Every structure is written in structure tokens, then in C-alpha cells.
Amino acid sequence: MRYMRIWGRLATMSFAIQTGHPLSSFGYLLGKLVRLSFFLLFLAAIFKHTSALAGYSLEEAALFFLTFNIVDILAQLFFRGIYGIRGLIREGDFDYFLIQPLNVLYRVSFNTVDFLDVLTILPVFMITFYILKRMPGGLAWKPLLWYTLLMVNGLLIAFAIHIVVASLAVLTQELENTIWIYRDLMTLGRFPSDIYDSPMRALLTFVIPVAVMVSFPAKAYLGRLTGAWIGQAVVMAGVSLALSLKFWQFATRRYTSVSS
């Protein structure tokens, strides 16, 4: 399909640029892996002093943390271009996107593909599978299916958030830092959402759905998520995606009416 080929081209070009800065790329890669390892080390150390965190065992807590990483890295992998949208507008690249026969949102999202994300996600997947195998009952297929489903669901919500941020950038051309608010709030998902008190948990489920994106998949695997919640999560994804796309259309329409 044409869109796949274009993604391939953009990814190749981004990769070519990254290989032009090997030291920096290596530093970032190592940094991300170090951060991952340190946190896992931290969790392991914590569980030397205790047997449970908010009712979860070490493996279960680790699953939450790893799920957070998977969602976070995959979201970055797919939607990284949006982080640079303000630059694209400022430099005039966005104007070129508007006059080319290609979906503008698609182009903006995939304009940069960070190959390092591919390299970081591989060890995360491996460690996750290892952890799942270590659980009582081992790696079970039905729970894994729910896990994947809710993860994809979470990614759709993440996509919706990115679209909203991109739309804001197009509208105001000032709010470039909004995406970092999202990134920071995501880190609240490093731990199981049960550690938060009710008001906080409500916030993280309904307002900034970090819990839905990150905790739900892990909970579904562990069988701690009811069907009602799953349904709610899916509805959330659908609604947020639809609304965000409408917002994007509004923003581009406004951009083409207002900018000089």
C-alpha cells in the first residue's frame, strides 16, 4: 500500500540522519536502557523489604512498569513527528505538507521515526515475556489477548492525545510544550494505579486516562478488570479519537484561514 511505502521512506530517511550522529544516538539509547534497568533494579530492591505493593507481587508490579514502557515507547515510535510540529510550522514545512497529495496528519506524525525506539522496545518485550512466564500459571493466551487488545486501545487514546496537541500547535503556534505535559503525566503510570487514592485514580481514569492506557492492560492480564471497565475503555478510545480528529480538521481549517 502506498502509505506503507511512504512510511518506509520516511523511516529510512530518519534513520539515515540518525546514523550521521552515532555518538549522540548511542548515548540516548544507552540512557533509555539504563533508566529501564535502574527502575527494574529499584523494584527488585523494594521487594527485598516487602512482599506486596498495593496488593501486587514483584512480577505483577514489574508487569505494570513494563506495560507503561511498552505503551510509552510504541506511542513515541508511531507519533514522534508530532513532537516536532511547531518546528515544521515555523520552518514552513507544514505549508508544503498542506499542498502535497498526502494526508497531512499522517505526514506530520511519521515525519520522524526514531530508530532508537525500535531498539529500546525489543529488550522491553523480552523482559515482559520473561516476567509473564514467571507468573503463577505462566504465559496464558487468553489473558494475553486481552492484554494486547487493551494495549492497542491505550495506543489509540495516546494517538488521540497527540492529535489534540498537534491541533493546538497548529491553532496557537505557541503551545509546543503541551506534549511534554502528556509525557510527564504518563510517568504516573509507572506504578499500578491502585497506589493512588480515589480522587487521584478518578483523575487518572477519566480526565487524563493514564490508568486506562497503562494499568488496564496489565490488570486485564491479571484478571482484575471487569467487562464493564473494558467496554468503557473501548468507548473512551473511540470517542476521544473521533473528537480529536474533528479538532484537527478544525485546526487545519483555521490555519488556512488565518495565517499569512
Round to whole Å and give the CA distance between 260 and 107: 22
User: Does the protein bind another protein through residue 249 (CB under 8 A)?
Assistant: no
Using only C-alpha atoms, the chain has a radius of gyration, in whole angstroms, of: 19
Shortest CB 91 distance to another protein, Å: 8
Does 59 sit near another protein (CB under 8 A)? no
**Number of residues in the chain:** 260
Q: Does residue 102 touch another protein according to CB under 8 A?
A: yes
| Secondary structure (DSSP) of 57-126 | -HHHHHHHHHHHHHHHHHHHHHHGGGGGHHHHHHHTHHHHHHHSSS-HHHHHHHS---HHHHHHHHHHHH
Answer yes or no whether residue 13 interacts with another protein by CB under 8 A.
yes
Task: By CB under 8 A, tell whether 91 contacts another protein.
Answer: yes
With CB under 8 A as the contact rule, the residue among 1, 99, 207, 228 that binds another protein is 99
Among 138-146, 156-164, 176-184, 240-248, the segment contacting another protein (CB under 8 A): 176-184
User: Binding to another protein by residue 148, rule CB under 8 A?
Assistant: no
Among 1, 45, 207, 228, binds another protein (CB under 8 A): 45
In sequence order, which ranges of the chain are alpha helices (DSSP H)?
Answer: 2-19, 22-49, 58-79, 85-91, 93-99, 104-110, 115-134, 141-172, 178-186, 198-202, 210, 216-221, 227-258
Which residues lie near another protein (CB under 8 A)? 2, 5-6, 9-10, 12-13, 16-17, 20-31, 34-35, 38, 41-42, 45-46, 48-50, 53-54, 91-93, 95-96, 98-102, 176-177, 180-181, 184-185, 187-188, 190-191, 194-197, 200, 253, 256-260
